[in-house]
Amino acid sequence: MSGTGFTSQEEWSKEYPIVFVCRRDLESVGLTTEQIDGLTDNEMQEIASMMADIYLDNGYWEDLQLCVSRFLKADEDESSNGEEPDDSSNTIELCPIKKTTGGAT
C-alpha cells in the first residue's frame, strides 16, 4: 500500500461514488413502466438520497470496515513476496470508525 501524503482537508473530504440507482432498478422492485415513467429526475434524486440515509444508518460503517480490512489484508498478502501469509487471523485490527453525518451519499 503506497501512501499519497494527502493532508489537506479538501483531499480528506474528497468523495468517491459507491453505488447509484437508476429507473431500470425500479423494475426489480415491482414498479410498473407507467409508475417508473412518471418519476421525475428530482424524485429519482430524492429516492437516491433516502437510500443513502438508510444505508448510512444500516450497514454502511460495518461494510466500510469489512472492505477496508479485506483490502489491507490483500495488500499485505501481495507484499509478502511469495512468503506464506499468516492465516492465524482473518481480520486486521483497524481503529474504530466514528459515525458522522453528511458527506457520504
**Sole residue written with cell 429519482:** 44
Q: Give CB contacts under 8 A, 24+ apart, made by 72-79.
A: 72/1, 75/1, 79/1
Q: How far apart are CA 11 and CA 5, in angstroms?
A: 10
What is the residue-level pLDDT of the chain in tens, covering all 105 positions?
566 666 788 888 998 988 899 999 999 999 999 999 999 999 999 999 999 999 999 999 999 999 999 999 998 888 875 655 554 444 444 544 444 444 444
At position 75, the amino acid (one-letter code) is D
